[in-house]
Amino acid sequence: MASKAELEHIYTQAKATVEAASDLRELDQARVEYLGKKGRITSVLKTLGQLAPEEKKTVGQAANEVRQRLEQDISARQSELSRAEVAERLATEAIDITLPGRRPAHGNRHLIAQVVKEITDIFIGLGYKVAEGPEVELDYYNFKALNTPADHPARSLQDTFYIKRESVQPADDDIVLRTHTSPVQIRVMKEQEPPVYIIAPGKAFRRDVPDPSHLPMFHQVEGLAVDEGLTFGDLKGTLEAFTKQMFGKKRKIRLRPHFFPFTEPSAEVDVSCAVCDGEGCRLCGSGWLEILGAGMVDPNVLIEVGYDPEKVNGFAFGMGVERIALLMHGVPDLRMFIENDMRFVKQF
């Protein structure tokens, strides 16, 4: 068991070892030797319980003082050695502090992501919620539940990439890359009762050869509203509100009769050209540009998900994001969105 005098002797030895350390590694070894878990000063503190009360107080106080002084000595020596290392590096390494700094490049959202966010924000402001679903989908959700059975001719317009297909004839459990984000609508309606007000942004896939107006992978934002007493007028009003916020207050929309398997009646929706203000120009030709398809949800779809078409009805719409971005920014070729040419990307 150490006494106060022995502690001072240990401190003298420890201080000499600290001052003799030539680098930070040797200094740390000295710290461990005297202040580590098995260090000499730590060992003294562990034996205090064996001393008489008065002696315990005296030796304990002396041990704590020695430890504090040694910690200060180690800290001071550590600062000296660190400054010495920096000075040595500055003397041997060439650093030109007059060179201008290199500012790191900042990334930003891709144009398609920007447009998706803008569309999403508009519909959230109208009271819609965002819904998501798998990009690898079952044939049932992608086609059959959307009133497009195996023998429906509309399937040929969406011939796509199959992950699993047992025969030439489509089956409900065939696995396919979704051709639109409409399957999300089916999944949501099967999980909740009306009212339903959702949008479904995401990727879609079709077997198209890339050209200025087609891509095999593209982005869609589809919307669905199901409630009591909805009319085609509600659909038109919703699309007008979206168009004015997206393209400007002067923009008008035009609805043309069309066919979609899962809506009846259906319409293609055009927006008046921002370049010629509807007069007709090289971009639009007629003064109008097609932006999306829409219609009232077919009763067969409502029955498929367990809704009563006598009590509720709804409308749906879908737009291609690349098409919207093209119209907003005058991009001449859809392939520019996926070529990763920084000269193009940095403009947005």
* pLDDT tens series, the chain, 348 aa: 556 777 777 788 888 888 888 888 888 888 888 778 777 777 776 676 666 777 767 777 777 888 888 888 888 888 988 888 888 877 777 767 777 888 887 888 889 999 999 999 999 999 999 999 999 999 899 988 998 877 766 666 666 788 888 777 777 788 889 989 999 999 999 999 999 999 999 999 988 788 777 788 899 999 999 999 999 999 999 999 999 898 888 888 889 999 888 899 999 998 887 667 667 776 667 778 788 999 999 999 999 999 999 999 999 999 989 888 887 887 878 788 888 888 888 888
Strands 217-227 and 175-177: unpaired
The reported pLDDT for the residue numbered 136 is: 93
The reported pLDDT for the residue numbered 284 is: 66
Asked whether 289 and 271 are in contact (CB, 8 A), the reply is yes
Strands 175-177 and 196-205: unpaired
Nearest alpha carbon to residue 185 among 176, 170, 197, 167: 197
Asked whether 179 and 208 are in contact (CB, 8 A), the reply is no
Asked whether 224 and 234 are in contact (CB, 8 A), the reply is no
First CA to last CA across the chain, in angstroms?
Answer: 76
Nearest alpha carbon to residue 315 among 196, 215, 217, 214: 196
The reported pLDDT for the residue numbered 159 is: 64
The reported pLDDT for the residue numbered 132 is: 94
The reported pLDDT for the residue numbered 133 is: 93
The reported pLDDT for the residue numbered 227 is: 95
The reported pLDDT for the residue numbered 81 is: 87
| CA distances from residue 149 to 135, 171, 288, 305 in whole angstroms, order as listed | 20, 9, 34, 15
Q: What is the pTM of this model?
A: 0.66
The reported pLDDT for the residue numbered 119 is: 95
Is residue 195 reached through a cis peptide bond, with omega within 30 degrees of 0 on the bond before it? yes
The reported pLDDT for the residue numbered 275 is: 65
